[in-house]
Amino acid sequence: MATTYETRKDVPKEEKWDLTDLYESEDDWQKDLDDALTIANELQEYDGNINDGSSLLAYLKKQETLKYKLQHVFAYAMFLSDIDTRDSHAQQLQAKASQAAVKVNEATAFFMPYLLSLEEDTLKKYLQEETELDYFKDHLWKSFRYKPYVLSKEKEELLSQLGETLSAPADTYNMLNNADIQFGNVTDEDGSKVQMTRGMYAKRIEDEDRDVRKEAYFAYYKPYVELNNTIATNLAAEIKTNVTLAKIRGHDSALRESLFDDNVPTDVYDNLLASAKANVQPLHDYTAWRKEELGVTELRQYDLNVPLVPDMKVDISYDEAYDTMLKALAPLGEEYIAVLREFREQRYIDVRETPGKKSGAYNMGVYGVHPFVLLNHHDDLNSQFTLVHEMGHAMHSYFSSKHQPQITANYRIFVAEVASTVNEVLLIQYLLKETTDSKMRKYLLNHFIEQFKGTFFTQVMFADFEKQAHERAEAEKPLDANSLNELYESLFRTYHGPTLVFNDEVKYGWSRIPHFYRAFYVYQYATGFVSAIHIAMRILDGDEETLKNYMNFLRSGSEDFPLELLKKTGVDLTTAEPIENAMKMFSETVEEFKKA
């Protein structure tokens, strides 16, 4: 079967979304949009008029109805646009949905400052007056945690007015990195010099020809070297803003403020960094082995991405990939597999690449309907892993929506990658068990090692950089191009080991990372990854208690804070055990790979 099609009409019906699950017609969509705007206007009338349990309940019920309708409206418009980004009508619907979201935010902006202005006894009184408020009670108290860190009404309004100004460093970097960056030139197939693009770089940095990799590497870093002072000044402004806002609100550090929402103690963050550094030797061994495998005199940064096992050109049809997934995930139980079969049969997945379709892959759960998964599936091994990954997210969305009320159905980002990575670990262990091809086995081991390196070690290195950069700002130490370059280069040496011979460009690596404009976010990739390994390997060992607890985790949405939800599966991130277990697995995989 073809993997790309000239038009969407050519794609088999069973491999396309059925968006009538959301709305039978655009008229139905428009009705929900109109209703949402009407409710938003009604909610605005509550500003200054919530003074007892009854009015608080009325406001919260209307707000939940609004969220339900607006999510459906936004999802439908987004899905239509994503299946063909050239569709101007779909873009118009998406613009309408976005405009409605802005109006809703404006209409409800008063509520959080109002809630946090209440005395604790007053909120308790309202909760006693209306028993129906029990449904919202946990949500209200979780919001109330912010009370010690809320400023006076006048100061909050002032900060709100400064919102656009405070986000300027992130906006500036986004424009610079996506619109203005001009990469250097590389040689094309005809021997002509052409300007490199990000897409070209992603392919060329993995090319078997070292000269191609080297040329791409220097062309890619050229603008970051040239703009080093500008980007450093911009990131320093972002970091200092984070530090200043945390101090204004009464937090003892920017890190503590960032972790507050998930109720994660800073010890978890510090423990992650310390445990990774204490167990970094297997990564150093792998880097040294890479040098041997490539047969180079000096291992350089442009040698770190080329596959050590040439790409396995294996044809795997979508149906075959799906059936393999069902077998690989069988340890998760009959209910899980039955639901997974239903996803394919009920057209919850938009499978094929077509002209204009949004690139990449994602899952979006729509409460009251079902998850929608977008793929750009090619009949190969990478697509098989992407399928398994996204279906992990989708199953998490499905079970949480089925077992949770709307208010707690969405899971937090902290735990989002657990379900997807559990699936990936189960798939790779299944494929390693089933394959009889020695080259394929080596390829799979290398795939897992590289995934581990990228999702764990690289993200921990980024997290380390963020923490130390913010600590420098908090100590009022210089935060300029030289200090950021030195910090990043030092960390790169720490994590990659002595085998690597550094080009000067290595130290500029921090300047190409957009995640640094979303402070203390990336560490969650690493914690999610080690949590998933901990869970998956116990399930494969036949641990029925872990399986039962994991399925309960998938049903839990955000009914509790992330660390508590993970503890119920047997993963305690306040200890080093999950990280050390993952490190042991990584070390064993590296040793097996070297012998393969």
pLDDT given for residue 162 in this prediction = 87
Number of domains in the chain: 3
pLDDT at 156 (0 to 100)? 82
* 505 and 454 together in one domain: yes
Neighbours of 335 (CB within 10 A): 10
Active site residues: 390
> What is the model's pLDDT at position 352?
94
Q: Are residues 97 and 41 in the same domain?
A: yes
Q: Residue 148: which CATH number?
A: 1.20.140.70
CATH code where residue 251 lies: 1.10.1370.20
Give CA separation, 145 vs 149, 261, 407, 447, in Å: 8, 9, 17, 43
Report if residue 353 sits inside a domain.
no
Regions of the chain where pLDDT drops below 50: none
CB 513: neighbour CB atoms within 10 A? 17
Give 186's strand partners. 194
Whether 448 and 573 map to the same domain: the answer is: yes
Q: Which residue from 70, 67, 62 is spatially nearest to 44, judged by alpha carbons? A: 62
pLDDT of amino acid 395: 98
Regarding whether 125 and 35 lie in a shared domain, the answer is: yes
Domain coverage including residue 210: 182-226
Same domain, 301 and 267: yes
Residue where the block lists tokens 């980004």: 85
Answer yes or no: is 218 within a domain: yes
Residues 572 and 507 grouped into a single domain:
yes
pLDDT the model gives residue 3:
61
> Do 505 and 550 belong together in one domain?
yes
Q: Which helix or strand (DSSP H or E) is residue 461 part of?
A: helix 458-474
Claim to verify: residue 160 and residue 170 sit in the same structural domain: no
> What's the rounded Cα separation, in Å, for the pair 2 and 355?
14
Q: What is the pLDDT of residue 157?
A: 80
CB 311 within 8 A of CB 374: no
pTM: 0.92
User: Do 172 and 55 fall into the same domain?
Assistant: no
- Among 134, 164, 194, where does a domain finish? 164
Q: Are residues 172 and 186 in the same domain?
A: no
- 56 and 171 in a common domain: no
Residue owning tokens 């010099």: 193
287 with 418, same domain: the answer is yes
CATH number of the CATH domain containing 197: 1.10.287.830
pLDDT in tens, 257-302: 999 999 999 999 999 999 999 999 999 999 999 999 999 999 999 9
